[in-house]
Amino acid sequence: MADLKAVQEADVRQRPQASIKMFWKELSAVVKIGIVNSNLITTFAGMWLAFYFTGERFLENLHIVFFTLFGAALVIAGSCSINNFIDRDIDQHMERTKTRPTVTGTMEPRRVLWLGVTLVAIGTMSLLMTTVTAAIVGLIGVVTYVFLYTLWTKRNYTLNTVVGSISGAVPPVIGWTAVDSDFHIVPLILFLIMFLWQPPHFLALAMKRCEEYRAAGIPMLPVVHGFEMTKRQIIVWVACLLPLPFYLFSLGIPFLIVATVLNVGWLLLGLWGLKMKDDIKWAKLMFVYSLNYLTILFVAMVIATIW
């Protein structure tokens, strides 16, 4: 009896912990924590470069750092939550999304919607603690992602990837404008790098998940026009990245070498796909390369300013 009682007491103690763990797991899925984290890297890089080029000291502006990263994280997380609310009807058809709380019903859709709206509101107020421009740029990202991408082009046009790339290119600009709201070539180049990076990244993913997108009725490029056209477009988008690092020449020769090697390597991998017979294997390689490309490139920007 004593052993049974001890087991029951242990079970009672573990239940709250399990519930909390499950809650955070579901919340992470709703806000797409992976997307939030990756975008914070580019937000930080944009902010760091703004400090560097304007001559401001990082440690003397930690309040700006906090409000920028906190605000950007909430705005992105809120946009993703709203996206989950809207896409719950098509997410059930895709392997990678069918376990989301909005699909399984473990989180009430209306709560997910209000969570998203609340996060965007709080995030925008946080960005307003830096500059008005940063808050406006953040809202441009929200409107583009929620309305132009999720509600409109995603379900109707193969250009959905291009339109969605606008919102994905906003985070480094948020970071920069939180420090300096004046026009500068650097945030423009950061925007273009992120904008051009996303089509080859997401088109490679679309090739991997082609049949899932087809089942969900989403007109991704490989679904509508096939793999050959998709591969050619991926190569074109990657090629467009080649000249951009040279506009950041003030970061030094080592950065230019790293960026150029990354670009050439990605382009060569893309061209290899024209001869490679296994399209899915090639798409996986391109997708993995794109993830490493983004991380290495933006980390290299930061390191280049420290040397």
More confident site: 229 or 16: 229
Quick one: average pLDDT of 34-38? 95
Confidence of residue 12 (pLDDT cuts 50, 70, 90): very low
Torsional class of 32: left (φ above 0), alpha (ψ -120 to 50), beta (otherwise): left
Q: Could you please report the per-residue DSSP string of 47-58?
A: HHHHHHHHT--S
Any domain includes 253: yes
CB 47 within 8 A of CB 175: yes
Any domain includes 10: no
Any domain includes 28: no
Any domain includes 20: no
Phi and psi torsions of 202, nearest 5°: -80, -25
The strand ranges marked E within 124-264 are none
Angstrom distance (rounded) from CA 202 to CA 186:
25
Instruction: Tell me: pLDDT of 13 over 70.
Output: no
Any domain includes 9: no
Can you read off the two tokens belonging to residue 104?
A: 């399984």
Torsional class of 98: left (φ above 0), alpha (ψ -120 to 50), beta (otherwise): alpha
Angstrom distance (rounded) from CA 71 to CA 105:
29
Confidence of residue 2 (pLDDT cuts 50, 70, 90): low
Q: Quick one: DSSP state of residue 23?
A: H
Instruction: Tell me: pLDDT of 96 over 90.
Output: no
Instruction: Tell me: pLDDT of 8 over 70.
Output: no
Average per-residue pLDDT in the chain?
Answer: 93
Confidence of residue 9 (pLDDT cuts 50, 70, 90): low
Weakest-pLDDT range from 66-70, 180-184, 250-254 = 180-184
CB 179 within 8 A of CB 47: yes
Any domain includes 289: yes
Any domain includes 21: no
Angstrom distance (rounded) from CA 129 to CA 135:
9
Can you read off the two tokens belonging to residue 13?
A: 């103690």
How does pLDDT run across 41-64, given as a tens digit for each residue?
999 999 999 999 999 999 999 999
Taking residue 221's Cβ as centre, other Cβ atoms within 10 Å add up to: 24
Map residue 138 onto helix, strand or coil.
Answer: helix
Angstrom distance (rounded) from CA 249 to CA 243:
11
Q: What is the pLDDT of residue 7?
A: 44
Angstrom distance (rounded) from CA 213 to CA 93:
8
Angstrom distance (rounded) from CA 9 to CA 189:
59
More confident site: 98 or 214: 214
Any domain includes 23: no
Weakest-pLDDT range from 25-29, 136-140, 159-163 = 25-29
Q: Count the domains in the chain.
A: 1
Record the pTM: 0.92
How does pLDDT run across 240-257, given as a tens digit for each residue?
999 999 999 999 999 999
**Count of positions (residues) in the chain:** 307
Weakest-pLDDT range from 9-13, 71-75, 148-152 = 9-13
Q: What is the pLDDT of residue 5?
A: 55
Which structural domain, as residue segments, surrounds residue 90? Answer: 33-306
CATH number at residue 104: 1.10.357.140
Quick one: average pLDDT of 30-38? 94
Instruction: Tell me: pLDDT of 70 over 60.
Output: yes
Q: Which of 25, 209, 205 is nearest to 100 (CA)?
A: 25
Sequence-distant (6+) residues with CB within 8 A of 26 are 101, 106, 107
